[in-house]
Structure 1
Amino acid sequence: DPTVDVLGLPDGVKLVFLDIGLGMIVFTCILGQLTTQVNASHCMIDFINNYFALFTLYTAMAIEFSGVMHASYLIQNILAVVSGKPIKSNEEPRSGFTLIFFWGRVLMSLAILGFCLAVTLSALFNGQTMMSVKYPSIPNGVSVFLFFFFMAVVGMLEGMQIAFFAVAKLPAEERGTSFFGKKTCDLLFKGNGQNLPGFMIGRQLTVVFSFFLVASITGLNITPGEGNNISGISDGAQSFLNYGFHGAVITTILASITWQLAASAFPIAFLNNPVTYILLCIALFLEWTGLCAGAWV
């Protein structure tokens, strides 16, 4: 509500920091991500030498075992075939029940992903997401476009991170094979190499900003019990969807893991993409502004 007083701030400041969410974005970047990453890079053993790190590991392993994200393995296998690069693994080849169990979870994951996409697109076209609350002037069709656009931005930034570290080990003359590929490498690795960590800072800020927008786009604005449930599902199921897990599944698979796998299979192609150079410049500019410089403290 723009009429509510917040520390006596002008309406323009409240619009930028609260309505658009810059305050929460910077807060999340510095305290929720960058600070821990900086500390972990300097104190790797100490960072994981606690029960919370162990709990986090077990939680992540449990989620992976559940198979909700197993559609990513299908994408990994497809990219391995396309790129001609075999998948390297220390695990024994799957056979028998293990093979059936694995591909069963892949099919389950694809079904879940399809359902999540159907829920999101249906809600977007019907104006039943938080976009209609936060930004009522934006048409539903534009919301659909923004949904895919910002997922692509996040995906590119996720892939760029993988591609940059992959080509960092290559000789300078092999890093880029096109005009934009060479410009990207020249900018990224020039001087003493400070632009690479600078990109990581700016990238994180851009990713968090995009995720906040995607969360608004995918978040459902449906009250169970009023007869407006998605596809006529039960009130309990609608209440569960209102937590936003469908958005988490979509963004994790389609806006993160898929692009990382693609970048690991085709790092040079990522570098040669002109969008990569544009996003690199944006990330470096955001880092230059100093919005997240507090993470180094």
Structure 2
Amino acid sequence: NADAEILGLPDIVIQIFLGTGIAMILATCMIGQLATQVNASHCMIDYINNYFALFTLYVAMTIEFTGIMHSSYLIQNILAALSGKPIQSNEEPRTPFQMAFFYGRVLLSLAILCFALAVTFEALWAGNTTMWEGVPRVVSLILFFGLMSVVGMLEGMQIAFFAVAKLPASERGNSFFAKKTCNLLFKGNGQNLPGFMIGRQLTVVSCFFVVARVTTLNIEDNEPNVFGVTDSSQAFLNTGLHAAVITTILASITWQLAASAFPLAFLANPATYILLVIALTLEATGVCAGAWV
């Protein structure tokens, strides 16, 4: 609440940190994400040597089994076909029943994704989201696609950077921006790669906070439900799970799969170099240095 009084701080300070969400962004980055990533990178085995890690794995596998995100596998297959790279797997070939079950979940996932997008666009155009007042709907729509693309690029860059990290310099591409990106990323003692990870995380969380405002529904009791659904269905949509489906598939998994299939194409993209510079600049400010404590 930007109107709250905290520690006697001036209103302008409270407005900046609470009203804009900067305080929550920094707390989420340092406490909820970067701190655990730093610990896991240094204590890999110890980090998973507990029952909570096992529980988290089972929950993730259960969610994957439901097929909600299976449309990402379809994208993976399409990208593999485009790149001419067969998907390597240690699993046995699927039986006809397993194939039908798999693609049935793919169709289910596509239907859920399309419905989630339809709900978001309908609510956004009707002004029934938590987007800041005064922001035109067209601007909100542009922000939605723009920030989703930025997040997707950053997700893909992470995959592409690790894919080329062990390649000799001669195999990292010959384009102008591929060379500039690699020279900046791998120069010196290699500290720019973990530095990018920190700056990337801060940028991703910042983008997601805005995207969350665009996709989160805000239906008043006296207003009609989206597409005329029942009150119980509207209450379910108000939880924001439809937004989680959209962002996970379209702003994360899709771009990661694209980067894994075409890592050199990501390096040659001018946007990759620009986002790398932005991420390193944010990391250099030290705003997330608390994650190393």
TM-score interval for Structure 1 and Structure 2 normalised by the shorter chain = over 0.9
Once the two structures are superposed, the pairs formed by residues 120-269 of structure 1 within 5 Å of their partners are 120-131=120-131, 135-223=132-220, 225-269=221-265
What's the CA shift string for 1:54-74, capped at 9, x where partnerless?
110000000000000000000
Alignment partner, residue 288 of structure 2: 292
Q: Which runs of 4+ in 1 moved over 3 A?
A: 1-4
Partners of 1:175 and 1:11 in 2: CA distance: 50
The alpha carbon displacement at 1:162 in A equals: 0.3
Amino acid paired to 1:76: Q
Amino acid paired to 1:115: F
Amino acid paired to 1:19: G
Alignment partner, residue 56 of structure 2: 56
Work out the percentage of aligned pairs sharing the same amino acid.
Answer: 71
Alignment partner, residue 97 of structure 1: 97
Q: CA RMSD in A?
A: 1.0
Q: Secondary structure at the match of 1:203?
A: helix
Partners of 1:122 and 1:212 in 2: CA distance: 20
Q: Secondary structure at the match of 1:208?
A: helix
What's the CA shift string for 1:187-242, capped at 9, x where partnerless?
0011111100000000010011111111111000013x534100000000000000
The alpha carbon displacement at 1:4 in A equals: 3.2
Partners of 2:78 and 2:61 in 1: CA distance: 23
Partners of 2:114 and 2:23 in 1: CA distance: 34
Q: Does 2:37 align with 1:37? A: yes
What's the CA shift string for 1:106-145, capped at 9, x where partnerless?
00000000000000011111111000xxx21110111011
The alpha carbon displacement at 1:296 in A equals: 1.0
**Number of corresponding residues:** 293
Kept in 2, the 8 Å contact 1:177–1:268? The answer is no
- The two structures have a TM-score, normalised by structure 1, of 0.96
